[in-house]
Amino acid sequence: MELTWYGHATWGVEVGDTSLLIDPFFDNPKTDTDPEELDPDYVLVTHGHADHIADADRFRGAHFVATPEIISYLTDEYGVEDGTGMNLGGTFEAGDAFVTMVRADHSNGIDTDYGATGGMPAGFVISDTKPTQVADAESTTFYHAGDTSLHSEMKDVIAPYLEPDAAAVPAGDHFTMGPWQAAVAVDWLDVDHAFPMHYDSFPPIEIDTDDFVKEVKATGSDAEPHVLDGDETFTL
């Protein structure tokens, strides 16, 4: 499984012959990628804020996966032609990947407008095997936490049952967890690799990423923190 961070909360995930893109937003200072160069099979959207859907119209040929409310909005406003609406707790088979939608604690006004909601915000757990109650040591699993605060489902459900190997957690503070809460999340998730995201894109979420690294180590977690450069790829 190959993970590419395009800045903010935008990630590319390659699972076998299947390519996925999460939260397309390329107007951020960490990426030089032209979204027109990408051709994902699937686009996953955690919630409806502008900094997570702004470039959705660049990928109209992809199959979109999000809550039904977000799919309807992207269809009407962004010209998305192919999409699957799902909800928290569900698993969707996306080519060679299995995508499980999990809880995130955040707001979800469409484009941050107070006039419409996109339903519950979400995170995604992406695996190369179907989730079951039988642990599969051969599977590879990545958790994209979405925009969220710290919540106990990370420790009580996602870690023991979905067993992520790696997690991308928001660490920019103000709108999501900051470095210390993100580090607690990493500890609870019991992952091998941890990546901060959703930081430095605009002034309220500018951080020193060294704080994230220090906080992860302070928890006693065995996770290895990785502060990726924009457009950098990490192979699980």
Structure tokens at 217: 């180590």
The mean of the pLDDT values for the chain is 96
In 13-163, alpha helices (H): 50-53, 68-78, 153
- pLDDT tens column, 2-28: 999 999 999 999 999 999 999 999 999
- pLDDT tens column, 101-127: 999 999 999 988 888 888 899 999 999
Mean pLDDT of 41-62: 97
> Is it the case that residue 137 has pLDDT exceeding 80?
no
Q: Which stretches does DSSP call E strand in 10-127?
A: 11-15, 18-22, 42-44, 63-66, 83-85, 91-94, 97-103, 122-127
